Amino acid sequence: MSTTSQAQSGLTGAQAARRLADEGPNALPAGRRTPAGVLLIREMVHFFALLLWVAAGLALVAGMPQLALAIAVVVVLNGAFAFAQEYRADRAGQRLRELIPAEVKVVRDGRRTVVNAADLVTGDLVLLEAGDRISADLELAEVHGLAVNESMLTGESLACRPGEKATVFAGTFVVEGEAAAVVTATGSRTRLAAVAALTRSATRPPSSLARELGRVVKVIAAIALGVGVVFFGLSLLLGMEPSTGFLFAIGVTVALVPEGLLPTVTLSLARAAQRMAGQKALVRHLEAVETLGATTFICTDKTGTLTRNEMSVVRVWTPGGALDLADPVCAAEIMRSAVLSSTGRLVRADGRWKPVGDPMEVALHALALQAGSSEEGAVTRRLPFDPVRRRSSVIVDGVLHLKGAPDAVLPLCAAEQAEQAEQALQEMSRGGLRVLAVARRSVPVTCAATGSSTGTAAQNAAGTAADVERDLTLLGLVGLEDPPRPDVAEAIGKCRRAGIKLAMITGDHPGTARAIAEKVGLLGSEELVVTGAELPVGDEALGELLDHDGAVIARATPEDKLRIARALRGRGHVVAMTGDGVNDGPALREADIGVAMGASGTDVAREAADLVLLDDHFATIVVAVELGRATYANIRRFLTYHLTDNVAELTPFAVWALSGGTIPLALTVLQVLALDIGTDLLPALALGAEPANPRTMDGPARTGSLVDRRLIRRVFGVLGPAEAAVEMAGFVAVLMLGGWTLGAEPSPALLAAASGTAFAAVVLGQLANAFACRSQTRPVGRAWWAGNPLLLWAVAVEAVLLLVVVGVPALSALLGGSFPPPAGWALAALAVPAVLAADALHKAIQDPKRGRPGRPPRTAAPCPLPGQGER
């Protein structure tokens, strides 16, 4: 360092020690970490898990330890699985602290030294050079061609060029040049710490799936307890001993608790998460799978998400006209001057080309290499870019080569050249290009010499510029762009067909943001383009302004993104927010779905997000939304499947009560448990893997109640009664064929055979129900049976489990049944045609046109392909 850094000796060691004692270490405040044990316990004690624990306790009290143990195992295994998926969910604060470098170069006691970043204090003189991560908020004292990448904090894709007295912030890093700077804030007083505080304060809202499942579980719990109380009263009326009646009521209550629902939901979400991972979308929170399907508003970043994050030269204009870049040699002259006045380069290392320095200057160098431009020559003086001049220049072999912002370069050129370039400049700007003007002139040897050695570097540069950066000859204009990803436009169109609104939120210039939005088809018909400073103060007004498709918000701050997510959620939207930097952490947590970039994003963004795009493609978000919608439909499928089974499980208890005990119980509580977490589990999971329908993204998402009137009507009015009717008919018929009469006490062997028949009828009915649940509108005969091979395997295993449960004497005796007689098997088999016929009749009645092959409704979308289920 010359001048300032040499003139200043920095703090003394004693001063630094006193300030460190007063201010504390330069470290971000550690957020309150949730111990892993606490996270595990949470998975074991949420409402549904508590319901199952109560059921296990009641089973133990009722003298059924096997049932209690089985329920406990279900809860523990499910909780452990969910814990493993969620363990790394809340570590954004730790990743933020890792952005602080371990060591920093400073000047203390007049000497250059290296200290631990945690020991920095206000007033320290820090020395910066390319590649350094900035460790505290600093005020620049001396600057030499400094370029700082602040995208992690500001969202701005291009490196900034701060001058003397400007402030640079902790967490950013130097990409070019060098500087000396004085520490102005450390630790919790830095801007990075403020972002960390926002991230911690932004709480992730409960997902719609969590709310809906909570509602379903509460309703089921209320029904189970209510029915248990009713049956306890009925048992007393029938003359049972109070203790016996109480134990019986407990059995009924436990029977009504859907023990298999919790593992089915968890494993189905995990299956969907695996499918998303195969599509380059990594889900970090299982419930986010369903929330993705309910998304109604996507707020997307620009750089790297809609664009490739790769600057490239796409147009070169000279006073003689536009150059054809298909033959880059013609641009050799202008590109030589552009590259000589730059420091960014594309270098070859380890057999690969790697960018070093400012991406814009790297793009200039890339074209210069193609054009064969020479970089040879003796550099006499370099005048680096500064925010006042907004240009940079270099003197090589007596020639000044200069590039910079057109409005800072054209006035230094001949008037006729400037006028000629103005039209080309306007055309490039309207196209969203970043435009640079390139010029040169010959300079006398005296002007090429180094300027005065007194004063600051900026003053010297400005003085020299007044002498040499004049009377320029314009070589031309260079237009650069960060090109859109090729698949973005198609993905945006799919979002609009799905009724999903879009907004672009970026830290870039509004002109650049608008141009990119137009190119990819994101800009809406209202052409709303606003800056963060123009946004309304109140959340209600902000939501009203932005609740339109295709809005563009430029120059947005972290606080703006956070407010936008909150305002749109306040208007009822399910918001997905994308981001890749430290600045995006709070908004990612505030949104219903935080979407982080996996390839280019920071650890902070990835840890704060629910979904990580492994390829950074916007189109991957749309794929994930489609899978999320399919998952929502699949959850309704296996809910229908499970609840139908519950109807068949409750029916024997209801018949026993209504008959005053004259008809024995057809199923035992342990048989009910075997149905819930034994034979039914695999088909339910297979329904959770049903492929997405091609029409899944046509129209708004089907959200709302998981259990609505349509589902209840189908379960309790059609499928459940059909299954229960065959179950009870087979049970009573086997009893009567064995000589039983109404009100008599059947022999244990006869009761076990009849109970085995009822059990078989329910399992076979569920086998048919699994195929019926694949679609809400098409009968099984019109669905392609091989469309879901997992379901075929699942029902095959279900049939095998049926034979094991009723055929293995020790197991059947434990559960309370036995192998049915031939007549019992024949009667139980009637459950298959009964369920399928009831399902087909119901679908034909609710929509007659759907039942006619080849005649879809006029307003309907095309029929699904073979093997695809309904939405």
Catalytic residue set: 301
Query: How far, in Å, CA of 272 to CA of 291, rounded?
Result: 12
Pull the structure tokens for residue 69.
Answer: 């143990």
Query: How far, in Å, CA of 476 to CA of 456, rounded?
Result: 32
**Strand-strand pairing, 575-579 and 593-597:** parallel
**Backbone torsions φ then ψ of 353, nearest 5 degrees:** -85, 130
Rounded (5°) CA angle 120-159-148: 15
β-bridge mates for residue 140, sequence order: 181
Query: How far, in Å, CA of 462 to CA of 208, rounded?
Result: 60
Residue type, 222: A
Under a CB-based contact definition with an 8 Å cutoff, are residues 183 and 111 in contact?
no
β-bridge mates for residue 167, sequence order: 139
β-bridge mates for residue 402, sequence order: 393, 439
Under a CB-based contact definition with an 8 Å cutoff, are residues 174 and 134 in contact?
yes
Q: 457-460: list long-range contacts, CB under 8 Å, 24+ apart.
A: 457/2, 457/3, 457/142, 457/143, 457/144, 457/164, 458/143, 458/163, 458/164, 458/386, 458/388
Q: Which residues contact 221 (CB under 8 A, 6 or more apart)?
A: 51, 257
In DSSP notation, 291-331 reads HHHT--EEEE-STTTTB-S--EEEEEEETTEE--TTSGGGG
> Rg of the chain over CA atoms, in angstroms?
36
Q: Which residues of 574-588 are buried (b: 16+ CB within 10 A; e: fewer)?
A: bbbbbbbbbbbbbbb
| Other beta carbons less than 10 A from residue 866's beta carbon | 11
What is the CA 709 to chain-centroid distance, rounded?
Answer: 31
Query: How far, in Å, CA of 268 to CA of 631, rounded?
Result: 8
Pull the structure tokens for residue 271.
Answer: 């299956």
Query: How far, in Å, CA of 211 to CA of 213, rounded?
Result: 6
